[in-house]
Amino acid sequence: MAPQLAITLVFFYWPAGQALYQSMLRQDPFGLRTRFVWFANFRKVLADPAYLNSIQVTVVFSLATAIVAMVVALLLAVMAEKAVRGKGLYRTLLIWPYAVAPAIAGMLWLFLFNPSIGSLAYVLRSLGIAWDPLLNGTHAMILLVSAAAWKQISYNFLFFVAGLQAVPKTLIEAAAMDGAGETKRFWTIVFPLLAPTTFFLLVVNTVYALFDTFGIVHAVTGGGPGKATETLVYKVYNDGFVNLILGDSAAQSVILMAIVIALTAIQFRYVERKVHYG
């Protein structure tokens, strides 16, 4: 257990502490002197319109990604439950995207939809849509959400299938005898029983959209056009590594930590909650 502790301390606690410390420092423009400024960096960051924009972008992006990925996955999972034959084959074919790196997923979608050579962009244009994700912020966002959601479908699909299988068949049979039609059975019996799975996936997908999609943003849009797709994580990276504004970047890191901790806490609440249906 010692090795894990050592690595944990060196690569987790030390940097996290550093982030906390740096978030309260400010360097002069030449990087010569640093001052301890308490929470000034936080005030500055939170007052910065660019940061507020980034928060908005992140919320839109995360929610859209989570919802699209979950709705599609749930639909497919329900259908897979019905299709008695070929279930295994469908599953095999549907889990591929899980193995694709987010950045590559982004690049594949960009390849399909980039205005100059993308075949699907060509199709869109011939349908009369002025499609250009490189210049139009909304289009860029749609592209990112599609790529990010696409990659996450497999994961959600597997969980929904497992969740559906855990719904007792006798309940469904009882509902059928109570005269509930198939659609009604789904919404009144199956869907409520899936609530724990759905909630769990909502948290996981949000965390995914917040953090793991850095690669997609970096590879596809670089936060642009303008700052239309600059998510929080991307901004931390950009301010810290590209623009070298250390104090701000650190303050942003700390805010992100707070978000993760909140999400994890929610997730653990859920773990206790799910017993109710057990």
> Minimum CB separation from other proteins for residue 225, in Å?
12
Which CB, 67 or 103, lies closer to other proteins? 103
CA atoms within 13 A on the CB side of 42: 13
State which residue, 50 or 171, has the beta carbon closest to other proteins.
171
Cα 7 to the center of its chain, rounded Å = 27
| Minimum CB–partner distance for residue 90 and other proteins (Å) | 5
Question: Smallest gap, in angstroms, from Cβ of residue 183 to other proteins?
Answer: 10
Least CB distance to other proteins at residue 98 (A): 6
Judged by CB, which is closer to other proteins: 52, or 93? Answer: 93
Residue 47 beta carbon to other proteins: minimum distance, rounded to whole angstroms: 21
- Looking at the Cβ atoms of 52 and 83, the one nearer to other proteins is 83
Least Å distance, CB 226 to other proteins, is: 16
CA-CA distances (angstroms) from residue 83 to 1, 89, 91, 111, 121? 47, 11, 11, 33, 33
Query: Which CB sits closer to other proteins, 121 or 202?
Result: 121
